[in-house]
Structures are given as structure tokens and as C-alpha cells.
Amino acid sequence: MARSGISTRERIISAANALFYNDGIRGVSVDAVAEKAGVTKRTLYYHFRSKDDLVAAYLTGRDQPNLALFRQWFTKAEGGLPAKVEAIFRNLARSARHPKWKGCGFLRTSAELANMPGHPAIRIGAAHKKKFEEWLRATFEAEGIAEPLRLARQILLLLDGSFAVVLLHRDSSYMETAGEAAHALIEAALPAGKKRRGW
């Protein structure tokens, strides 16, 4: 167990993920993470320099899987570009109906730690959102959209807005409303030849 090198650390990150996502950073003690991971606090501090370091690991661990999920939802969806982007919102709405759902871990962490501008967690969250934005931008560019970055940012704003609003109202229909807005914005930005019907 010890020398496998990966198991204990991974178990701690997994425990941190469950607890931090559910209760927030300051709402979870290092002791609680250690207990959930089945190790002593001292062991946790062997693998992570500090609580902040653990928080950074928690968010880093969510980065790639999260992006992969969005890409998968987009890829698997049928229809044109607007419909494929809208599918991301619809899938997210489905996720948001699960009782354990609590919004976007990156946004919630950045909101909680907003008074610590240089905090690693905020840099990781910002990088995560930039990756998503860049993926959208490249996708739009490939479809011949005129201002792909601007449109990507508008979609991102709708997405992150729906995280916040759905978390507040516990009403996932806002996510579908955001998807419809995204659909409309993309449809309007499509080059003439690719629209469903010209006018």
C-alpha cells in the first residue's frame, strides 16, 4: 500500500473532492478530510504542504474530467452547431437535478476565496475557464464564425450564469433557458451559407 505511491494521495484527493465540493473550503476541516480518507491528519500533511495545497489538488483533479465531459456532450449531440452547444446546457440541467449537485466547484471556490487574489485555487479556476473558452473559440472559428472569441465568451457567460442562478434558485430550468439563448446567439453569428435558412 505504502510504496504503490499513488493510492493514499489519491484517496485523500478523492475525500477532499467530495467534502470541499459539498461544504466549501472553509466549511471543511483538514481533520474531516483525513478522517474521510481513512488516514491521520499527519499523513495528510505528509502528502500536502498545507490546506491550500490540498485545495489546489482538489481543483486540479476536476479540471480535465470536467472539460472532457463538456466536449463529450458536444460531440455526441446531433444537429448543427447551435444544437450541439445547446446540448451542453441540457446535459448540465440533467446533472443539476441530482440532489448532490452544488454548482461549479471552480466558481464556488473563487467566490469563497475572493479576498485572496493570488490564491492557487483561483489561478486554477481561471485557467480551467480559459481552456473551456478557448475550446469553444476554436470550435466556432472552425465553423467560419466571424468573431469566434466574442461568441465563445458570451456562451461562457451564459453557462457560468446558469451555474450561479440554478444554485441559488434550485431550479434547473434556468439552464435550459440559457441553452436557448446560446442557441439564438450562435444561430445569429453563423455565416450565411450555414444557417438553416437564409433570409
Partner DNA sequence: CTATGTATACTAACCAGTGAATATACACAA
Partner DNA sequence: TTGTGTATATTCACTGGTTAGTATACATAG
From DNA, a second copy, none, interface partner of 52 (C-beta below 5 to 8 A by class): DNA
Distances (CA, A) of 147 to 12, 112, 197: 43, 33, 21
Q: 2: which 3 cell numbers?
A: 505504502
The contacts of residue 113 (CB under 8 Å, 6+ apart) are: 25, 119, 121, 122
Distance of alpha carbon 70 from alpha carbon 142, whole angstroms: 18
Q: Which of residues 100-129 bind a second copy (CB under 8 A)?
A: 102-103, 106-108, 110-115, 117, 122, 125-126, 129
Site map (CB under 7 A) of DNA, residues 160-199, x = contact: ----------------------------------------
Distance of alpha carbon 63 from alpha carbon 138, whole angstroms: 19
36 binds DNA (CB under 7 A): no
32 binds DNA (CB under 7 A): yes
Q: Which residues bind DNA (CB under 7 A)?
A: 1-3, 5, 7-8, 28-32, 39-43, 45-47, 50-52
